[in-house]
Amino acid sequence: MSNRIRIAAATLSAGLVLAATGLGAVAQASSAPAAPLKGQAAAPCWHSGGKWWCNNKRGAAVWDADSVTIVGYMNTNPSWFNCRLDADSTGGGGPHPNRWLLTTADNGQVGWMKDSDIYSETDPVRVCGT
């Protein structure tokens, strides 16, 4: 991951407070929606309970700010996200190839998920640092 993500992660750690209650506690959908078909628009992420919720791939990796180290996995769907960051091209392709979303993996570790592992349209998710 680029220095932009490392700087953003440090800024978040220093300036934003992630809610200590509920970290790692995410809603488990009984039957999560499938990924949109090719050419079909994805439903947007939604805001509820002070968090942004998005449909994501089960088992998606959650990465440390270095984009080399996996800190955990997201087996729940939908999952909540704190904010999004458009940084470098390691975000995995898709409609937002530079986008990463800050979240907490199912093991309680805070990290970044690639936008390409999220089925929902992530444009509504707030930008990190705003």
- Alpha helical stretches, state H, the chain: 3-15
Exposed e or buried b for every residue in 49-87, given b needs 16+ CB within 10 A?
Answer: eebbbbbbbeebbbbbbebeeebbbbbbbbbbbbbbbbb
Average pLDDT over residues 88-101: 80
Residue 18 has pLDDT above 70, yes or no: no
Predicted local distance difference test score (pLDDT) of residue 41:
59
Does residue 44 have a cis bond before it (omega within 30 degrees)? no
Question: Residues near 31 by Cβ (< 8 Å), separated by ≥ 6?
Answer: none
Residue 8 has pLDDT above 60, yes or no: no
Predicted local distance difference test score (pLDDT) of residue 97:
85
Average pLDDT over residues 31-56: 75
State pLDDT tens for residues 62-89. Answer: 999 887 899 999 999 999 999 999 987 7
Residue 13 has pLDDT above 70, yes or no: no
Predicted local distance difference test score (pLDDT) of residue 91:
66
Q: How far is CA 103 from CA 25, 38, 79, in A?
A: 11, 27, 8
Q: Is the Cβ–Cβ distance between 117 and 61 less than 8 Å?
A: yes
Average pLDDT over residues 104-114: 96
Residue 90 has pLDDT above 50, yes or no: yes
